[in-house]
Structure 1
Amino acid sequence: MKTKKWLKMSTALTLAAIMLVVTACGGGSKGNTNEQTGGTEGNNNETVTLSMMHPWTSPNVDNDVYKARIAAFEEKFPNIKIKQDGVAAAQYKTKLFTLATANNLSDVNVVWPGADLEPLVKGNLLMPLNDVMSTWEGLVREDALVGFAANGNQYAIPSKRNFVDIVYYNKEHLATAGYEKFPETYEEFIDLVKKLKEKDITPIALGNKEKWPLQSSYMSTITQRFAGTDFLERVVAGEAKFTDPEFVQAISVIDELTKLEAFNVDANNMDSVQAQDYLIQGKAAIHISSATVDGRIRMSNEAGDKFGIALFPSVPNGKGEANVSAGVAQYGIGIKADLDEKKKAAALEFIKFFAHEDMYMELAKAGILVPVNIELGDDVNPYLKEMYELTNQASAPVFDAIIPTNVAKEFENGLQALTVGRGTPEQVAADIQALLDKK
């Protein structure tokens, strides 16, 4: 094959760097299953069934890749069956931790890094992968692995890299309101919202039925803008509080947008996919969501060029920079601890096959950001390149990757209450600080 050009993107913070390397084709593929196992697939006639719980139920392009990879594994290893338990993303973590409390995890589980991994590690519920980490040496980036590691052990391998706070906007609608590009300051952003309202265009498509969008896609980045990149870590360490003025100001953005009627009226009855459709169909000018949904909004959309991408603007007297996006390595594949030897061997066979260069390649071709160094062809989607360019400056943590799950859930409830005119930013902040203090 002909030589490919190098594409390198990097960020400045731990868990923020992503590199997409385009190198010469040819040579062996890292993590090749036959090489790892000596080509033993099919040698054992006894069927082993592994249970696997995952949140890949929505029609996103990455979910299709994951499920196709599971099917390919079962075809290659006919004596290992994967019994899938697909749980909607909004309910997934609740079910995961409920099962964890009862020591009843599935054999293979999709897990999240940081705060969400901590209770699983403390409960000795996941199997360390240290003995097989050479499988991913040189493939999966160290800065993507660190969120799934604790106490010197590696507990999961990430499937993708995501930025949760991408601003998608309809170029025509913005032009109608007098803006040729997305605003760079908060004052201009609010002015845009008001002018869109004057033109009878819904400013922002919000699908908050699942509650996480305001917490994750909005408040991760808005918190960074007002309070700084390290604010959430300082809160967890007891060096800052949610009641600090900067964080209350950040929450006030949701309150202000609500009072300006910036969101669609059915925001709390609409899920995140429906909100994407709202933007795609031209019913709203802006939608704030993850980098993953660019697959639907632009990459697989014949009218994709109608939409631009941006980051949330700078804010007055903010402690954070405006070129920072909230990102995290996601969908770690972990194995339940204390499996019997046959299930353990089958589960290791599965994770090696699943988190393989081929899978990351398929994700990248589908327009998904990946936390690895991989070999790609010349047909890299230009929208994907644009996404890398937008997010390669620096990264902030995602709210619910740092803050304990029960606190994040309470925050979601408080934010949703604000959107229907109940409560105040100060009260929301006080409530979640009080809950955090109980830990």
Structure 2
Amino acid sequence: MKAKRIVSLMLAFSMAVGLTACGGEAGGKAEKEDGKVSITVFSEWVGAHPYAKYFAERVESFEEAHPEIDVNVEEIAGSTTANMDAKLKVQVSSGELPDVFYTNDQSIIDLAKKSNLLYDFKDKLDADAELKDELDMEDIASWNEGSDQVYGICSHKDFFGFFYNKEILKAAGYEKFPESWDELYDLCEKLKGDGVAAMALETKTAWYSSLTLLAALASGSEKGQEMAKTVGLTDYNTPEFIEAASQLQKMFMEYSTTDAPGSDISVALNNFTSDKTAIVLDGAWRIAELTEAMGDKVGEAYLPGKGAVSYPGYAWFSGSKDEKTAAASYEFIKWFNNKEDQAIRLEQLGLIPASANIDYESLELSPLMMEILEMKDDVNYTVSSCWRVYPAAVTAIIPQELAALGTGQSTPEQFAENLTKASN
């Protein structure tokens, strides 16, 4: 990567020394002496991250196409979004965001909007018919809910259901994945009798468990489906949510591994790839990793009742404070959202494009990915990402609340009450 690298390896230290230190590379600098515009980009897609090669190549190609722009990449250490999200929250608190960053976390954007820290790209996007034609404007509107502005630009939609171990299911007498929750629980009981844990769950990352919770919530009623797609849900004290929490607790206590409460996503994923569990609810971006570890014994299935997890993917934002830097930031964001990039991300990363103009047949896609692309056009209901459903206060407490639910230290009613109290 030709871009200047600003390595942020000591996140905990930067948080401890105070907010002013954290704002050092953020906020957009003016034109340099050589006439170039410099932008700072936060990214954890570096080092050993699965997206590192893609990101480095795209940054390099951007700088070749835009020699008038210097890109300074501040590398956020960590293979998950946790460090990146923590860094962004500190930057919001300091009143300084970088020229370019991306996130999946709606709560961070809500905080940034309240502090008026985001650049509005509406005029630039309205004038850019070429890019606009490759985006899903409903997804754009979703990321910018509650305003007429365009703060975030996204160009892929996450869509997925359950991954399952075909060999484990076949040994249990199942040639295909169950189509209803009753059938799924029958499978869980059968696997339990065979000494196999059905569900890969965890609480520390809170991803698998939260998605399974939302899937159970959506399956019960139309109200449950509505709640499972609500951005910033604040009322969890409903019969639908409490019933879903009861189902999740049952999965923890009867149909998952004993290490599920308190473990993180790496443990749960390893349990699935090492045949210790039969089912995991995770994204299409995981296909390459799963097939490398498990070969062709990985299958993909709808959520019971022909449902799926579906929501706008991560969006790109800018904290630039002057027009020249904002214009350069927009060009960078456009580079990472155009038709070419969407095709590259689908092929290399397993991220489903927003553009309707991409020829899937011309790309090298796995059979599992082709199956998911077919599934997305034939679905009865969807649930959103937990990071869009949970407001910031719930995101902060959900790991310990899930662990308490999973170990039986709290009841489903207490779980719902605690989330509601945190939200209000």
AA of the residue aligned to 1:108: V
Q: 1:91 Cα shift? A: 3.8
Flag structure 2 segments of 5+ consecutive residues without an equivalent: 1-31
* Distance in 1 (alpha carbons) for counterparts of 2:33 and 2:156: 32
1:385 matched to 2:380? The reply is: no
CA contact (8 A) 1:209 1:267 kept: no
Instruction: Give the match for residue 45 of structure 2.
Output: 56
CA distance in 2, matches of 1:359, 1:397: 24
Deviations 1:88-107 (A, max 9, x none): 31343333223112212122
Which is worse superposed, 152-161 or 71-80?
71-80
Q: What is the CA–CA distance in structure 2 between the aligned matches of 1:208 and 1:330, rounded to whole Å?
A: 22
1:160 alignment counterpart? 156
The letter for the 1-side match of 2:351 is: I
* The one of 302, 313, 329 aligned to 1:330: 313
User: 1:304 is matched with which residue: 295, 306, 329?
Assistant: 295
Written as runs of structure 1 = structure 2, the 5 A alignment for 1:189-208 is: 189-208=184-203
Structure 2: which amino acid aligns with 1:161?
K
- Structure 1 residue 181 displacement after superposition: 1.4
The equivalent of 1:266 in structure 2 is 259
Change over 3 Å in CA distance of 1:270–1:83 after alignment to 2: same
Which runs of structure 2 are paired with 1:105-254 in the superposition (5 Å)? 105-112=97-104, 116-133=108-125, 134=128, 135-149=130-144, 150-163=146-159, 166-215=161-210, 217-227=211-221, 228-232=224-228, 241-254=235-248
Aligned to 1:84: 74
- Counterpart-to-counterpart distance in 1, 2:189 and 2:233: 39
Contact 2:233 2:389 in 1 (8 A): no
Q: Which whole-Å deviations, capped at 9, do the CAs of 1:134-161 have from their partners, x for residues lacking one? A: 1412111212211222421111211421
- Give the whole-Å Cα distance in 2 for the aligned partners of 1:59 and 1:218: 28
The residue type paired with residue 72 of structure 1 is S
User: Is this contact kept in 2: 1:297–1:304, CA < 8 A?
Assistant: yes
The residue that corresponds to 1:33 in the other structure is none
What is the distance in 2 between the residues matched to 1:110 and 1:159? 12
Q: In structure 1, the residue corresponding to 2:133 is in which secondary structure?
A: coil
Q: Which amino acid in 1 is paired with 2:75? A: D
- The equivalent of 1:356 in structure 2 is 338
Over the matched positions of the two proteins, sequence identity in percent amounts to 24
Structure 2 CA distance for aligned equivalents of residues 203 and 311 of structure 1: 16
Q: What is the correspondence of 1:89-104 to structure 2 with a 5 Å cutoff?
A: 89-104=81-96
State which drifts further: 53-62 or 194-203: 53-62
Asked if residue 405 in structure 1 is aligned to residue 400 in structure 2, the reply is no
**C-alpha separation between the residues in 1 aligned to 2:192 and 2:56?**
41
* 1:307, distance to aligned residue in structure 2 (A): 1.3
SS at match of 1:432: helix
> Normalization by structure 2: what TM-score?
0.80
Q: Could you tell me which amino acid in structure 1 is paired with residue 225 of structure 2?
A: T
CA RMSD of aligned residues (A): 2.8
- TM-superposed CA distance for 1:195, in Å, is 2.0
Deviation at 1:45, TM superposition (A): 3.8
Q: 1:103 to 1:400 in 2, by over 3 A?
A: same
Please say if residues 49 and 83 of structure 1, whose CA atoms lie closer than 8 Å, have aligned partners that are also in contact: no
Return the alpha-carbon distance in structure 1 between the equivalents of residues 330 and 248 of structure 2. Answer: 44
- Offset of residue 387 of structure 1: 0.6
Q: 2-side partners of 1:65 and 1:209: how far apart? A: 28
Does 2:338 match 1:344? no
Q: Summarize the Cα distance change of 1:236–1:324 in structure 2 as closer, same or farther, 3 Å threshold.
A: same
* Comparing 97-106 and 393-402, the one that deviates more: 393-402
Q: Write the letter of the residue equivalent to 2:403.
A: Q
Aligned length in residues: 379
Q: Does the C-alpha gap of structure 1 residues 305 and 233 become closer, same or farther in structure 2, counting only changes over 3 Å?
A: closer
Counterpart pick for 1:71 among 60, 72, 80: 60
- For the residue of structure 1 that corresponds to 2:362, the secondary structure is coil
How big is the shift at 1:246?
1.3
Partner in structure 1 of residue 24 of structure 2: none
Q: Alignment partner of 2:117: what SS?
A: coil
In structure 1, C-alpha distance between the alignment counterparts of 2:84 and 2:278, rounded to whole Å? 30
**Offset of 1:192 from its aligned partner?**
1.6
Amino acid at match of 1:385: M
Counterpart residue identity of residue 102, structure 1? S
Change (3 A) 1:152 1:234: closer
Q: Secondary structure at the match of 2:407?
A: coil
Q: Deviations over 1:230-261 (max 9, x none)?
A: 125679687xx31111110101112111221x
Q: CA deviation at 1:162?
A: 0.8
Q: Indicate the structure whose relative CO is greater, using CA pairs within 8 Å and at least 6 residues apart.
A: 1
Tell me if structure 2 keeps the 8 A contact 1:243–1:426.
Answer: yes
Q: Which runs of 5+ in 1 are unaligned?
A: 1-42, 314-321
Q: For the residues of structure 1 that align with 2:192 and 2:63, how far apart are their CA atoms?
A: 52
Cα deviation 1:313-348 (Å, max 9, x = unaligned)? 2xxxxxxxx22222111221111142x344223212
